[in-house]
Each structure stands twice: as C-alpha cells, then as structure tokens.
C-alpha cells in the first residue's frame, strides 16, 4: 500500500480526476462481468430501478458516454 500524507489525499479529492477514472473503470468492469456471467444489470434510470438484460449490456456500454462528469 502507498503511504500518502493527508495533504496529498486532499489534493486528489479536490481535483477528482483520479476518482472519476477509478469510478469509470469500476463501471466498465461491472458491466463486462454481468455480461460474461449472464446476469441482468440493475441501474437507476429516470427515477426508478431498471434491469438491463445481459444481452443488452454491450449496447448500453456503447451508448454511454466514456467520461464521467463532476458536479
């Protein structure tokens, strides 16, 4: 494990780029894993939970923007 000072951690959190990248990587891994295992993917869409069948996950991944947006 890398030892970082609290100042470094604070800078990482303020910038957010590394966090955004990690979340995007995790999202792609989850989608790929659900598709490989044939398990529906539950997502939040338009105020409700929606199950995406595994055969649609590939098209969902292509339709999604490649970047995340910080708010």
- 54 within a domain of the structure (yes/no): yes
Among residues 13, 14, 58, 12, which one has the least CA distance to residue 33?
A: 58
Query: Containing domain of residue 54, as a range?
Result: 6-63
Predicted TM-score (pTM) of this structure: 0.63
Domain count, the chain: 1
- Is 71 within a domain? no
Q: What is the pLDDT of residues 26-59, one digit of tens each?
A: 999 999 999 999 999 999 999 999 999 999 987 6
* Residue 1 is assigned to a structural domain of this protein: no
Structural domain contains residue 25 = yes
32 in a structural domain: yes
**What is the rounded distance in angstroms from the CA atom of residue 11 to the CA atom of residue 1?**
18
Residue 50: inside a domain, yes or no? yes
Q: Is residue 68 part of a domain?
A: no
């Amino acid at each position: 494990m890398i030892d970082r000072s609290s100042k470094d951690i604070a800078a990482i959190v303020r910038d957010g780029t590394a966090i955004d990248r990690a979340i995007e990587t995790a999202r792609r891994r989850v989608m790929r894993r659900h598709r490989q295992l044939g398990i529906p993917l539950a997502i939040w869409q338009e105020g409700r939970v929606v199950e995406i069948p595994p055969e649609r996950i590939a098209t969902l991944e292509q339709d999604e923007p490649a970047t995340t947006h910080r708010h």
